[in-house]
Structure 1
Amino acid sequence: MLLAIDAGNTNIVFALVAGETIEARWRIATDARRTADEYAVWLSQLLHLEGYDRAAVTRVIIATVVPRALHNLQTLSRKYFATEPLIAGRAPVEWDIALDIDEPASLGADRAVTAIAAHARHAGDLIVIDFGTATTIDWIDYRGAYKGGIIAPGINLSLDALVAAAAKLPRIAIEAPATASVIGRNTADQMHIGIYWGYVSLIEGLVRRMRAQIARPVTVVATGGLAILFEAHSSVFDVVEPDLTITGLAILAARAHI
């Protein structure tokens, strides 16, 4: 069984994958200081709770946008799963798509992996929206080439900045406003409206501009943990696939043949 590890700026997702099926997934806050031993204690308990033994893991693949976290994740694989981990973007799992941008080396591993998965699952030109620490909106053309995209602050990051900069504003949950009105009658409602509907408008406006520039039929794919938060209140998404990055890691590992 494959252990796929997606190390993002906010969270690290560990997923057990058998073939194309994600059997289990767990999330832990990203902390580059966390040691391999700490990961092992935490992960061993979760494997046990799900009915798995560590010996079930025979392969490991890692994608990370946090370079300082990589060493301890590699050590975790070597010490506790007795396997040399595959590192997404490095031999033998280099990107097998064209990166048609000015600085290919600057593209985050998560975005490349997600592009690979999106192209494998959907035909034609794609706009892939990934809701994470940052919200990224990427264009993958019908041949599977990564053509570029957009980086915007994630919705949680936007809320954190707002609350940090305005002393009297309360911390609110990220959720759809209770009513359809866009005129709030109190501070909390006004913040919900501004954060939520403002973010929906951001996504819809950017996707509309990208569609016009691509000038071909496009399928819009949403992924990331917060994608389902917006699905019910916007028609911009054609499909929502929260685990697209893990799917991409599984595809890369399957192609490695080792």
Structure 2
Amino acid sequence: MRLLIDVGNTAVKVATERQGQISVISEPTIPWQDVSEVLIAQVGKNDDLEPILQQAKSRSLPYMFATVTATLGDLVCAYPEFNNLGIDRWLTVVASHHLFPGKACVIVDSGTATKVDVLTASGQHQGGWILPGLDMMIDSLVANTQKVFSDEHTEFATSFGKNTPNAVKNAALSATVALAQRAIDEIEQSVEAQQLQLVFAGGYGELIQQHLDNSGIYFDDLVMQGLIYWRKYQQNA
């Protein structure tokens, strides 16, 4: 059994993997006696990771931090300076390439930040965009303007706002949906509709999917699936 750890900008997500089956668990319930190795995708520093690493070290368990490389099998990173690409973005690309072979993918991963990445059917990463996540957009606007406010009760939509919280939240969602649609429009110029797969992930991924295209597929473990495929490449190298 592998232990998978996704260290995001605001939280640490832990899961176990056995024969390709991923189960998200909480840190206190990690079945250490069954763990054979630990795979880590770390975007930012998080103190919650350290106790997990200490447990792995105390049990002499091997642990690996996933890294971005210029190529991974037939995958090609779009960044000339590939080390500047976030590992979370790279792993969503890795996962999408293997989950949808022979298809071009537009990947929308929305959490603390929203990342949009484009991948061709042949495995050429086209690059992508990063913008603040919905909450960060709202917090920044409210903190830096007068008489603009939001609340926790107003739901996100894409209609015109009829009050200030509506206007703020709906603008954040509309801007995010429009950016993702722009990526779709760009890639649709070169591929047939049936050759394009939309992939959604992150805490706001399902919301964006609902307002963009329900034919896409949402994954709550896309980074962790990427970790599994990334590890297979290391084993076969």
Which category describes the TM-score, using the shorter chain as reference length? 0.7 to 0.9
Q: Which residue of 1 aligns with 2:126?
A: 147
Deviation at 1:246, TM superposition (A): 0.7
The structure-2 alpha-carbon separation of the partners of 1:77 and 1:191, relative to structure 1 and needing over 3 Å to count, comes to same
Q: How many Å apart are 1:54 and its aligned residue?
A: 2.2
Instruction: Within 5 Å, give how 1:18-37 maps onto structure 2.
Output: 18-26=18-26
- Does the 8 Å contact 1:204/1:236 carry over to 2? no
Alignment CA distance shift 1:85-1:95 (3 Å): farther
- Secondary structure of the 2:93 match is helix
CA distance in 1 between partners of 2:25 and 2:203 (Å): 12
Query: Which of residues 167, 172, 176 in structure 2 aligns to 1:195?
Result: 172
1:52-63 map, 5 Å? 53-63=31-41
Structure 2 alignment gaps of length 5 or more: none
Partner of 2:185: 208
Encode CA deviations 1:1-60: one digit per residue, 9 max, x unaligned: 11111112122211111221112234xxxxxxxxxxxxxxxx22xx1xxxx632122210
TM-score, length basis structure 2: 0.82
Answer whether contact 2:68 2:87 (CA < 8 A) is retained: no
Partner of 1:36: none
Task: Determine if contact 2:72/2:233 at 8 Å carries over to the other structure.
Answer: no
The Cα shift of 1:131 comes to 0.9
8 Å CA contact 1:7–1:63 kept in 2: the answer is: yes
1:118 equivalenced with 2:96 (yes/no): yes
Query: How many angstroms apart in 2 are the aligned matches of 1:141 and 1:25?
Result: 33
In structure 2, what is the Cα distance between the partners aligned to 1:183 and 1:100?
A: 37
Write the mapping of 1:52-91 to structure 2, written as runs, cut at 5 A: 53-66=31-44, 72=50, 75-89=53-67
The answer to whether the 8 A contact 1:2-1:59 is kept is yes
How far did residue 160 of structure 1 move? 1.1
Contact 2:68/2:82 (8 A) holds in 1? no
Q: Identity of counterpart residues, as a percentage?
A: 24
Letter in 1 for 2:2: L
The aligned runs of 1:151-190 (5 Å cut-off) are: 151-173=130-152, 175-177=155-157, 182-190=159-167
TM-score normalised according to structure 1 size: 0.76
Superposition RMSD on alpha carbons, in Å?
Answer: 2.9
Q: Are 1:74 and 1:85, in contact at CA under 8 Å, matched by a contact in 2?
A: no
Q: How does 1:126-137 map to 2 (within 5 A)?
A: 126-137=105-116
- Which consecutive unaligned segments of at least 5 residues does structure 1 have? 27-42
The AA in structure 2 aligned to 1:2 is: R
Tell me, yes or no, if the aligned pair for 2:78 and 2:126 is still in contact at 8 Å.
Answer: yes
- Per-residue CA deviations over 1:61-110 (Å, capped at 9, x if unaligned) read 0111225769837733533543120111289xx94432233221211111
* SS of equivalent residue, structure 2 residue 212: coil
8 Å CA contact 2:199–2:216 kept in 1: the answer is yes
Structure 2: which amino acid aligns with 1:72?
E
